Amino acid sequence: MHGLYLSRECSDLEELSRELMGLHCWFHRNVAFSALIRGAEIAGWKQALTKTWLYRGTLHGVAEDDLPQLLALHVNNSYLAQWWGADRLDDLADEVLRLMEDGVFSRAEMREIFADRLSEEDIRMVFSPWGGIFVYLARLGKVAFRDMTSRDFDLIDAAPTRSREEVLPELLRRYFAAYGPATLADAAWFLGFWGPEKKLLKDMDLSEFSRFDCGSSTYYYVDDGADLGEIPELTLLSGFDPVIVSYVDRSAVLSPEYRSRAVMKSGICLPTVAVNGRVAGLWNIKNGAPIVEFFDTQEPRIVRETKERVDFIRFRTAGRI
């Protein structure tokens, strides 16, 4: 909780994004929630970060100058290459970039332009609501969403300048510094390494990290001598909060008995309330009103303070999310 700024504050949104290697934003308002929970200012937050795809194919809000390093992990990865072939995909990507240079920035406009040249099946695949060709271009560092709330895209210049092998040691250190103690399996999950790719981590020199064994697993972290403080009695967590979604085993924070209530079948991770570091309920803002629901009976002061904190977030985000 110390590394993830849940037991201390980070006042600058861009610094927070760098420290956490991006803020999860499948739903953009979770970025504002996560920032406020961690003490960051959200004035101008919609333009302060760049919204794009990272790691496991998920959307994150990222400091723009951090993109070339983060994107280097999975540059050129695309299921479309298997569907279309690499050469045909590159030709289409070049044409999409030319259209964007001419002022076409929306997926809907692109679908209309290509309607006479591509089959309906190709259109659904290439301009899919899940990203399609724009995921491919985003991983090349050439496009990103216009801002944190827009569905349109803009051209950017964030192409990786180093290889995966060159950036991986730095990114692994950043991961263990913020998310440690964590296992290599956790790091592989977070960084989006599947199957044979995991061997890249197993073959790395891990001697710089502090470690301890628990059960059959080895946990790594960066010991910077900081005072870690105590686990807060009460903590709000954003939807898709890093403390929940960044580890293979979530049981330290989220009990299996409550998992289905906090994480929907679709994979959507709801905003939650942690009591003494463990998820104990849900919170949200619906129709401008704060909502709090605990799984079990809590002390009145815990309920009262939770509602006050949610109401504070409601007030700070009014008209901004």
In order, the DSSP letters of 243-258 are HHHT-S--TTTS-HHH
pLDDT score for 81:
79
pLDDT bucket at 320, cuts 50 / 70 / 90: confident
pLDDT at residue 77 is higher than 80: no
Average the pLDDT over 45-69 and give the result: 95
pLDDT score for 228:
86
pLDDT score for 82:
78
pLDDT at residue 196 is higher than 90: no
Q: How many CB atoms lie within 10 A of CB 21?
A: 24
pLDDT score for 83:
77
User: In whole angstroms, what is the distance from residue 121 CA to residue 258 CA?
Assistant: 40
Min mean pLDDT across 235-239, 249-253, 268-272 is at: 249-253
Mean pLDDT of the chain: 94
pLDDT score for 165:
93
DSSP 238: -
Residues 6+ apart with CB under 8 A from 138: 52, 53, 71, 131, 144
pLDDT score for 95:
96
pLDDT at residue 79 is higher than 80: no
Identity (one letter) of the amino acid at 96? V
For 37, phi then psi, to 5°, come to: -60, -35
Answer whether 73's CB lies under 8 Å from 171's CB: yes
pLDDT score for 319:
82
Q: How many CB atoms lie within 10 A of CB 221?
A: 17
pLDDT score for 290:
92
Taking the model in full, what pTM does it have? 0.93
User: What share of the chain has pLDDT > 90, as a percent?
Assistant: 83
pLDDT bucket at 50, cuts 50 / 70 / 90: very high
pLDDT score for 198:
87
pLDDT score for 163:
94
pLDDT bucket at 157, cuts 50 / 70 / 90: very high
Element (H, E) at 202: helix 199-202
List C-alpha distances in Å: 14 to 5, 42, 44, 132. Answer: 14, 10, 11, 28
User: In whole angstroms, what is the distance from residue 73 CA to residue 211 CA?
Assistant: 25
pLDDT score for 76:
73
pLDDT bucket at 195, cuts 50 / 70 / 90: confident
DSSP 49: S
pLDDT at residue 75 is higher than 90: no
pLDDT score for 183:
96
Residues 6+ apart with CB under 8 A from 3: 177, 178, 179, 180, 221
Helix axis angle, 164-179 to 184-191, nearest 10° = 120
